[in-house]
């Protein structure tokens, strides 16, 4: 899947004066307050995750939802009620998410879909497939094919370090898996048969000078949402899928939702997250090429402190735009503690310096522990996760 | 590769008033005399196979060229001199041709590229790869994927019956092979990185309402012309390729010739044939859906006689357009006998009825023998040809 850092042509609704831009390659707020997610829900035609849905989720899984959901970081969905209906009827689903391996260093923002995916996998005890879209990166970033595969493996190491159950998780590089399982290509052909150039142009804003690889990629990102792309896991069973992702990836699956019924599949269900803020604030974008715009999983403890102290956008007392506070909403899981910080900071009892320190204390151990776990992920372990095999669920 | 029987939008040179239409999906002469091949050579920028080239070929292989070449049925080429230079330096090439399996019954015209390919393989003792583009047919003909694969296997049976050396020949279905060898998809991605939508639109005449599968297919037909698509045959060696095909397939390789040097490959060499005439004459097209427009490899001896007697376009004494005579130029290999027939027919000494009988006597045993050989091609034999393996050359 794509980072949100590339430039490309944009799909805008021409009816509105000035609108947030949200495509797989570009995310830009129309004004300083960042993306208007309410408007986005309307424009994309998805549904808000409301209290009733949260309540239902908790009833089904018999435990509280993840704080990403409670706090509105995952704020939008498609067909989650249908998915839960099926689940309650004993019809299990599977999870699909992905990563576009454009560089060796993943940053904290890249973890968001994987954190919720891991939580969902544990809550529902379902199989998970993770696409490393190295073909996409080879095409968009003009990387050599072998470098794309190398980055897939390096990024897979980070993903594995997050603790996904090896018995229930299959990670695949497109450049490798395409040549390992004919059913994958067959499903791509089936999707490619149903979508016109005009449609992808409308959905993704492609221009005529875009290369064929770009024009064709939507079918490649969509295909793993058809369970028959993994016959060694699902046989020829058509199983419902749930795709947790940042909302900029929605266009791929909006496209597939049109096509799936024609192929005899249910429409994929989705869970959409907001965007992770750049350290410089919600308006600017996090970029792997700008060292100080993000906290990388490879950062030292000192670099984390330095970045938060010197490079975060702070707004004394304003929890809506203060970046150190925003980071806490993602990574401080203790609701009571977050509430205490919020109240103290809003009321002026807590200074920017203090909240920065809290953010540093929160993030340093997360990154340190990640680095420790990553060291344990040997080449052999990566190979096991990426081996075509039966899963145990 | 494509049959020439489909409709699609066309690439025309806008500078000329009325021009022959030659695309992979449509072949139509601007006037009654059929395609003007001299004009086509100029428009496509290929080279005529002239006496000097024929002489050189015969010197290199130390035997006469096939009558398809001598008689101008294969009339055009690209880079054959370069290929022969390399061959003389001890640098071997490989052969690539293909078939778009749109129906179970192949007709005589479908054999033309395979006949010359077999002759070239024997003359030069080189490996051969044959693409069954079932993915193309699934997309263009709206066939189910499994039906595409079935037709690939049935058509492969006909191709195998022609006697290709199993030690030197690999036949592959795109829908299957894509999932068997990652290097194939990698090469497709490399090509897709170098060609824009605008370019394929210009070359193939795609329109915006064409599905993604059509837009992306040119890279799939082009990729086997990169030797690294077959690592089990060529390792990672970049070997020159020679592609014998009907000239309507040239656009795919014109596209690749632009791209190949950027990928570190030599431009593919080509050998182009004229089109096989429909029984109703050069102006109309042969069609698998019109039983009487072609002689099928499944036709009985009686059907062959009936079709030639009742459904061929005849032109008393005119060897330029008389279809029974045209058929003899393809299938009567004895030059002296053909010369005798030509003189007798032209001078009015031989009637249409007589030349039809000669054509029947020529074609009946060819089809009968093909049917006998085809019966010997068991499922196991087909599987052997289509198995990913090292070749012995």
pLDDT one-digit tens code per residue, B242-293: 999 999 999 999 999 999 999 999 999 999 999 998 999 876 666 667 888 9
Least-confidence region, from A304-318, B22-36, B374-388: B22-36
Please check whether residue B185 touches A, CB under 8 A: yes
Interface test with A, best of B132, B150, B183, B185 (most A CBs within 10 A): B185
**Distance between CA atoms of residues B318 and B321, nearest Å:** 6
Q: What Å distances lie between residue A317 and A73, A336, A361, CA to CA?
A: 21, 18, 19
Please check whether residue A216 touches B, CB under 8 A: yes
Name the pLDDT band for A230 (thresholds 50, 70, 90): very high
Chain B closest CA to A263's CA: distance in Å?
11
Structural tokens at position B155: 């058509």
Name the pLDDT band for B24 (thresholds 50, 70, 90): confident
Name the pLDDT band for B179 (thresholds 50, 70, 90): very high
Interface test with A, best of B146, B175, B180, B189 (most A CBs within 10 A): B189
Name the phi and psi angles at B84, rounded to 5. -70, -35
pLDDT at A112 over 90: yes
Contacts of A191 in chain B (CB under 8 A): 212
pLDDT at B286: 64
At the fourth CATH level, the homologous superfamily of domain B21-277 is HUPs (3.40.50.620)
Helices A335-346/A352-375 angle, 10° precision: 150
Say whether B195 and A212 touch across the interface (CB within 8 A). Answer: yes
pLDDT at A287: 67
| Helix or strand (DSSP H, E) at A118 | helix A108-124
Share of chain B above pLDDT 90, in %: 85
Query: Could you tell me which of A282, A305, A283, A274 has the C-alpha nearest to residue A292?
Result: A305
The CATH code belonging to domain B291-375 is: 1.10.240.10
Query: Which residue ranges make up each domain of chain A?
Result: 21-277, 291-375
pLDDT at A285: 60
In this complex, the residue of A180, A192, A197 whose CB is nearest that of residue B139 is A192
Name the pLDDT band for B105 (thresholds 50, 70, 90): confident
Share of chain B above pLDDT 70, in %: 93
Name the pLDDT band for A2 (thresholds 50, 70, 90): very low
pLDDT at B4: 37
Question: Do β-strands A94-99 and A128-132 pair in parallel, antiparallel, or remain unpaired?
Answer: parallel
**Distance between CA atoms of residues B113 and B371, nearest Å:** 19
Please check whether residue A231 touches B, CB under 8 A: no
**Average pLDDT of chain A to the nearest whole number:** 93
**Average pLDDT of chain B to the nearest whole number:** 93
In this complex, the residue of B135, B181, B198 whose CB is nearest that of residue A209 is B198
ipTM: 0.91
Chain A closest CA to B231's CA: distance in Å?
12
Please check whether residue A195 touches B, CB under 8 A: yes
Is the entire prediction scored with pTM above 0.90?
yes
pLDDT at B32: 67
| Helix or strand (DSSP H, E) at B99 | strand B94-99
Q: What integer is the mean pLDDT of A196-211?
A: 96
Residue-wise pLDDT tens digits, A64-95: 999 999 999 999 999 999 999 999 999 999 99
Say whether A196 and B209 touch across the interface (CB within 8 A). Answer: yes
pLDDT at B318 over 80: yes
Q: What integer is the mean pLDDT of B295-302?
A: 97
């Amino acid at each position: 899947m794509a980072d949100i850092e590339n430039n490309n042509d944009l799909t805008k609704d021409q009816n509105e004066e000035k609108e947030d831009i949200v495509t797989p390659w570009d995310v830009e707020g129309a004004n300083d307050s960042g993306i208007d997610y309410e408007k986005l829900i309307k424009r994309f035609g998805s549904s808000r995750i409301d209290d009733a849905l949260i309540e239902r989720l908790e009833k089904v899984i018999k435990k509280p939802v993840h704080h990403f959901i409670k706090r509105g970081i995952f704020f939008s969905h498609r067909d989650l009620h249908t998915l839960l209906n099926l689940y309650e009827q004993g019809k299990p689903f599977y999870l699909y998410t992905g990563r576009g391996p454009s560089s060796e260093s993943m940053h904290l923002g890249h973890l968001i879909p994987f954190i919720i995916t891991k939580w969902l996998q544990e809550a529902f005890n379902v199989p998970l497939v993770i696409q490393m879209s190295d073909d996409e990166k080879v095409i968009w970033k003009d990387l050599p094919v072998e470098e794309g595969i190398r980055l897939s493996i390096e990024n897979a190491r980070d993903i594995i370090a997050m603790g996904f159950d090896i018995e229930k998780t299959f990670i695949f590089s497109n450049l490798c898996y395409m040549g390992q399982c004919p059913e994958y290509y067959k499903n791509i052909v089936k999707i490619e048969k149903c979508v016109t150039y005009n449609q992808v142009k409308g959905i993704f804003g492609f221009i005529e000078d875009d290369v064929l690889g770009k024009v064709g990629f939507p079918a490649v990102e969509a295909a793993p949402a058809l369970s028959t792309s993994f016959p060694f896991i699902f046989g020829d069973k058509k199983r419902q899928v749930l795709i947790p992702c940042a909302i900029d990836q929605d266009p791929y699956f909006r496209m597939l939702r049109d096509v799936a019924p024609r192929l005899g599949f249910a429409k994929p269900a989705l869970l959409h997250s907001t965007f992770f803020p750049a350290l410089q604030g919600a308006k600017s974008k996090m970029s792997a090429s700008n060292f100080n715009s993000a906290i990388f999983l490879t950062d030292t403890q000192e670099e984390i402190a330095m970045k938060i102290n010197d490079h975060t956008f702070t707004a004394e007392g304003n929890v809506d735009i203060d970046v150190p506070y925003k980071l806490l909403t993602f990574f401080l899981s203790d609701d009571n503690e977050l509430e205490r910080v919020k109240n103290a900071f809003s009321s002026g009892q807590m200074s920017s310096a203090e909240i920065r320190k809290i953010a540093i204390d929160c993030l340093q151990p997360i990154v340190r522990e990640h680095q420790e776990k990553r060291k344990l992920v040997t080449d052999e372990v990566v190979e096991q996760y990426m081996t075509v095999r039966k899963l145990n669920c």
